[in-house]
Amino acid sequence: MMAKRDPEAVRIARLISDFLNDYAPSALTASEHTLKSYRDALTLYVCYLESEGIGSGQLGRECFGRQRIEGWIRWLQETRGNSPDTCNVRLASLRAFLDYAASRDVEMLYLYEEAKHVKRQKCPKRKVSGLTRDAVAAMLSAPDLSTPAGRRDLAFMVLLYATGARLGELLGMRMGQVHIDGVPEPHVTLVGKGGKVRTAYLLPRATEHLRRHIAEAHGPAPNPDDVVFYSRVGGKGRAMSAPAIDKRLKMHARKARESCADVPPNVHAHQFRHARASHWIEDGLNIVQVSFLLGHAQLETTMAYIDVTVDEEAKAILGLEADRGETEKKWKGSGGSLRSFCGLAR
């Protein structure tokens, strides 16, 4: 006869499952990168518990205490070789879970309060290799406009810079969010982190490039549900992938560097957002206006753009994605384990 599961262990496993599969996607973020970050952090936390000899029979609230979390951070650094940036993002993801757990089970509230006092790792502040105005101009001159892909890439980069949008906001944008005809002021509606909606008004140049792209890619009567920048393989209902955009940007950067040494060889989409924020500041907008235009929830986040410091989330995402290749192997073969019990087995 199968042994009876401990009720507390079952409750915690259910909280993990509900957080990852229901709450985070619906209430916290639509970003695939951030959702992967949550799953990776919780999976690695459970991996750490297993390394400490904890199985499903021992899973309880005490497994999420401050000392245990601090031990996990050391394990991430010493055993897995994670950088301070990556450790901080893992910690933030675990805190998000404990915040959710506390809202569902008052007996776990003290764990969230303890987790908030776990110290973040010190990270050296480094300069962002942003895009100068000349670099932006060179990038916009790089696409081959004799090809549909080149014209699409130009429209994408113009819109990316004009709006200061996050990459995911543009990739997920559908035709129903575009308002450039029959309105006093052309604009697009962007859906950001946590489902927050904001309006980005467009100047004539950006409006014209977007209008041309829509006419060529969508025809005279676009479907409001179609993705503006869709995948040629997946069709109009499927967005281009972030890796596909990244590959195209780096291709254009190689050409742009021939005429402008300011263009970094490893250009990525976030640098257009950073450039737009920096140039808005240079053009006289105040910090509150720029924060609103970028869709930042906290003014402190916008301050990072003025100081030209690294965007920790962007850096952490790169670390997480690089780390995934290794973790896929380590998480295999976990049948019957604590990971399997918590629904985190691969």
The mean per-residue pLDDT over the stretch 259-283 comes to 87
What is the average pLDDT value for the chain, to the nearest integer? Answer: 83
Smallest Cα–Cα separation from 37: which of 245, 271, 318, 342? 318
- Predicted pLDDT at 74: 94
pLDDT band at residue 298 under the 50/70/90 scheme: low
Contact 267, 132 (CB under 8 A): no
Q: Which of 49, 55, 44, 52 is nearest to 3 (CA)?
A: 55
Residue/partner pairs of 228-233 with CB below 8 Å, 24 or more apart = 228/170, 228/173, 228/174, 228/175, 228/177, 228/178, 229/152, 229/156, 229/170, 229/171, 229/173
Pinpoint the residues of the chain covered by CATH 1.10.443.10: 133-309
DSSP string for residues in 223-234: -TTSBSSEETTT
Single-letter residue type at 200: A
Q: Is the pLDDT of residue 303 over 80?
A: no
The residue among 325 and 155 whose pLDDT is bigger is 155
- pLDDT tens digit string along 51-105? 988 887 888 899 999 999 999 999 999 998 888 888 888 998 999 999 999 999 8
Closest alpha carbon to 199 in 183, 216, 177: 177
Locus of tokens 């933030």? 92
pLDDT above 70 as % of the chain: 84
Confidence (pTM): 0.55
Assigned token pair, 145: 């406009």
pLDDT tens string 145-167:
999 999 999 999 999 999 989 99
Q: Which two tokens stand for residue 253?
A: 């950067």
Task: Encode 262-309 in three state secondary structure.
Answer: CCCCCCCCHHHHHHHHHHHHHCCCCHHHHHHHHCCCCHHHHHHHHCCE
Indicate the CATH number for domain 133-309. Answer: 1.10.443.10
Residue 46 has, within 13 A of its CA and on its CB side, a CA count of: 28
pLDDT band for 125, please (50, 70, 90 cuts): low
Distance CA(320)–CA(90), nearest Å, equals 9
Q: Which of 189, 138, 181 is nearest to 163 (CA)?
A: 189
Residue 124 is predicted with a pLDDT of 64
Within the chain, strands assigned E span 178-179, 187-191, 197-201, 230-231, 235-239
